[in-house]
């Protein structure tokens, strides 16, 4: 069952998640973890060395500090938990987790990041139509990622993890960050579209009452995205700018 995709320029605004929607950020995170643990394991003489399997077994999908604790535990290394406010130099679970952010910034600087071409094509179409856009990301690195990708100037509103924390906004799947970004753009959620690749993000936009919630399936699965509240699911945003016969989504 397929249906033609709606025209995003008919909405008052389109709000985009960043990681996995505009940029393939997961790879940068993987590289940052590897660089950080390679350094730490060498310094501390921890064996066996960090390997790719460690990422999937202990880090992927986990909260940062939980991931650090479980990976260290797998090597029989115990350090105090510490506190999220610990500096990146602190040898605590939180300090080591915060250290990973420094490596993330370094990997971004050294390797850069290239936005998904299909997403850039959609941004171009929206810009040509004068449709306002915003970023709604849970990441505290959103500005660095957008800068590295060379597209930060395209977004008049960037709702990121820094602003959410400052303004005490509940994180996704609560609707707060999407609703607040719409307010900052001066648009009504019901007349706007939201684009997300994570279940929590889709649920956030759906709870915010957005007129259209687009799920981008980067591996979570179309059924799961629809169950979370996506009105339609595409494998990539290039679906929106493809020639008419290909402009279809599974519905």
Residue 84 C-beta: closest distance to Mg ion, Å = 22
CB 9 within 8 A of CB 241: no
Smallest CA-to-CA distance from 140 within 165, 116, 157, 119 is with 165
- Cα separation, 67 vs 172, whole angstroms: 20
Instruction: Output the CA angle 200-148-38, nearest 5 degrees.
Output: 80
Contact between 231 and Mg ion (CB under 5 A)? no
Strand ranges across the sheet with 248-250: 2-4, 248-250, 232-234, 212-216, 193-196, 14-16, 133-136, 157-159
Nearest residue (CB) to Mg ion, 86 versus 176? 176
Residue 25 C-beta: closest distance to Mg ion, Å = 8
CB 9 within 8 A of CB 129: yes
Instruction: List the catalytic residues.
Output: 17, 19
Residues in 190-209 that interact with Mg ion by CB under 5 A: 197-198
Residue 198 C-beta: closest distance to Mg ion, Å = 5
- Cα separation, 55 vs 69, whole angstroms: 13
Residue 17 C-beta: closest distance to Mg ion, Å = 4
Task: Mark 147-186 with x for binding to Mg ion (rule: CB under 5 A) and - for no binding.
Answer: ----------------------------------------
Per the document, the length of the chain is: 251
- Cα separation, 106 vs 39, whole angstroms: 14
Nearest residue (CB) to Mg ion, 25 versus 192? 25
Residues in 1-30 that interact with Mg ion by CB under 5 A: 17, 19-20
Q: Which structure tokens are listed for 63?
A: 């909260």
Residue 188 C-beta: closest distance to Mg ion, Å = 24
* Residue with the CB atom nearest Mg ion in the bound state: 20
> What is the binding site for Mg ion (CB under 5 A)?
17, 19-20, 197-198
């Amino acid at each position: 069952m397929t249906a033609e995709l709606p025209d995003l320029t008919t909405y008052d605004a389109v709000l985009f998640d960043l990681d996995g929607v505009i940029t393939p950020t997961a790879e940068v995170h993987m590289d940052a973890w590897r660089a950080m643990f390679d350094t730490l394991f060498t310094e501390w003489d921890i064996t066996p060395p960090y390997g790719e399997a460690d990422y999937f077994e202990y880090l992927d999908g986990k909260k940062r500090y939980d991931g650090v604790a479980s990976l260290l535990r797998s090597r029989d290394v115990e350090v105090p938990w510490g506190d999220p406010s610990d500096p990146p130099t602190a040898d605590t679970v939180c300090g080591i987790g915060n250290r990973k952010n420094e490596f993330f910034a370094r990997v971004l600087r050294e390797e850069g990041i290239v936005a998904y071409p299909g997403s850039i094509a959609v941004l171009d179409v929206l810009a040509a139509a004068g449709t306002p856009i915003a970023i709604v990301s849970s990441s505290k690195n959103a500005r660095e990622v957008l800068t590295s990708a060379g597209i930060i100037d395209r977004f008049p509103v960037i709702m990121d993890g820094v602003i959410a924390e400052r303004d005490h906004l509940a994180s996704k799947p609560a609707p707060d960050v999407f609703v607040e970004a719409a307010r900052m753009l001066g648009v009504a959620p019901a007349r706007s579209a939201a684009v997300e690749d994570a279940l929590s993000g889709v649920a956030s936009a759906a709870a915010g009452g957005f007129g259209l919630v687009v799920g981008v399936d980067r591996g979570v699965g179309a059924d799961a995205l629809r169950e979370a509240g996506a009105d339609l699911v595409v494998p990539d945003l290039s679906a929106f700018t493809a020639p008419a016969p290909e402009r279809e989504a599974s519905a």
